[in-house]
Structure 1
């Protein structure tokens, strides 16, 4: 534990506050909630639905709770210590604080869900959460054996994308199929994000699922294909400014993955970890057109 504390403090010892912000955005598990809320809102704009502010906010809180639990559980696995990274060491140092925060947030989160969320959205979120909770429980109790039938990277990518789309799907009465292409491309980006993290942090080994190992070897090609597909979809949706904007944002995210993959030797593991999540914030560049 002392070694973990030294490693975390060394990682976060920067000379300026701006330099610390991206690191703590990651260490405090705020990266995934930010991405989830942003894409949730973006999907609602593509569907031309005025999503209540509470919807992406609840999604962000729920995502944060899941990631906090996952990182705490990872830190408790002493048999897999060599695979732990700065975020796990950070949670080991501040476990009590996160447990208290989770205990405070969870009841309020549950109360709002059951009193303020629409029944359709609640049902969709409950289904996604139940599957996610069951899968992660199996992963944390059976380790790598549980990933033989469904690799963690693929599961996280698909579940994350579907969860961000549920608030819009639950309120969309004009035809849910229009959201399928952007959600599918986002799911691919999330999968590639997870594969990149596994590969660049040195966790993708011979024991990894075959799909993860294959995707890690062909990451640039897969990201380039996603880039081309996103641009093609943008051309097909020129009549809809919001859809074009989101497909262009997807293309830019794919381009950033290609760029990071080609220059990964220039960055440290933590820098790459922060950058690969930041690459999914591209809808921020198109807020004016999405809004």
Structure 2
């Protein structure tokens, strides 16, 4: 087995997605001023995401072995360590089940709709393997990831599932997730995956247009959020803009990076908004530097007004 650089191991072990989901879970908790959730909830979410990613990569590896999918570093890794990863998936699945058992029944029922895009994603992945950039598959994946990340926090707001579906914060985050996944597919596509170089350039242009639209939407939402009592929503939208900007930077300068580097940097682009969001919360006086969240003693009137903005 060839020696691999340390920076690629989080991606190979599927630890990148749980890190991203925990980061944005915390951000949703701050932007919606949720005072409490079950302590095991973020770990249940992270472990569930890890299991889904490992299962997806094992399926991708099997399809790649049958020459119906692409061969990337993570495909080769899961092929070489197929049995250990299957054992890890079994243990992780058991752990996720045990954590699920201690969640509230109301939360589990509230989160049921997220299973639909997850199931659809696996179905599309199986039948659409090896066909280059799959836009529909990435839309499903981005939707499932974004709403799965936010649903546990939103449940504590005691609002309907339709309020979650139409939440501007979740919609723009879902857009960022979709574009991130489309970009990864685009960057990992080998020359044989696309018919012509013109098609690859077309995908690049579409990617940049989508990022521009997302930045414009977030900028407009950030301007609207200036009227709220607290600036958590504004900080959130500006942070999504930072993530979109990082992806645009990678799209424009992709020729400077290897496909493996781009895959890891795409994950970094999803994590960069976290320190930026934190810095904005400190700058706006919402939290003190060194605190891990907003003050639980925040006046209820302020909480009600800012929560009403989402």
**Partner of residue 27 from structure 1, selected from 1, 12, 29:** 12
Distance of 2:235 and 2:34 partners within structure 1? 16
1:231 counterpart = 2:219: yes
Distance of 2:118 and 2:159 partners within structure 1? 28
1:162 counterpart = 2:136: no
Structure of greater Rg: 2
The answer as to whether partners of 2:120 and 2:140 remain within 8 angstroms in 1 is no
Change (3 A) 1:262 1:216: closer
**Which string of whole-angstrom CA distances, capped at 9 and with x for unpartnered residues, describes residues 114-170 of structure 1?**
2x2122221233432354135404532x335999x9811111111111111110222
The answer as to whether partners of 2:111 and 2:151 remain within 8 angstroms in 1 is yes
Deviation at 1:105, TM superposition (A): 2.4
Distance of 1:278 and 1:64 partners within structure 2? 17
The answer as to whether partners of 1:86 and 1:270 remain within 8 angstroms in 2 is yes
Comparing 102-111 with 90-99, which one deviates more in the overlay?
102-111
Change (3 A) 1:169 1:129: same
Comparing 187-196 with 238-247, which one deviates more in the overlay?
238-247
The answer as to whether partners of 2:40 and 2:99 remain within 8 angstroms in 1 is no
> Match of 2:57?
71
1:286 counterpart = 2:277: yes
1:172 counterpart = 2:157: yes
Matches within 5 A, 1:124-273: 124-129=110-115, 131-137=117-123, 139-140=125-126, 142-144=127-129, 151-173=136-158, 177=163, 180-202=167-189, 205=194, 216-238=204-226, 239=228, 240-273=230-263
- Structure 2: gaps spanning 5 or more residues: 287-292, 294-310
Deviation at 1:80, TM superposition (A): 3.0
Comparing 86-95 with 196-205, which one deviates more in the overlay?
196-205
Distance of 2:152 and 2:221 partners within structure 1? 23
Distance of 2:160 and 2:131 partners within structure 1? 36
TM-score by length of 2: 0.78
The answer as to whether partners of 2:117 and 2:141 remain within 8 angstroms in 1 is no
The answer as to whether partners of 1:195 and 1:216 remain within 8 angstroms in 2 is no
Aligned length: 271
- Structure 1: gaps spanning 5 or more residues: 15-19
Q: Which has the higher helix share?
A: 1
Cα RMSD over matched residues? 2.9
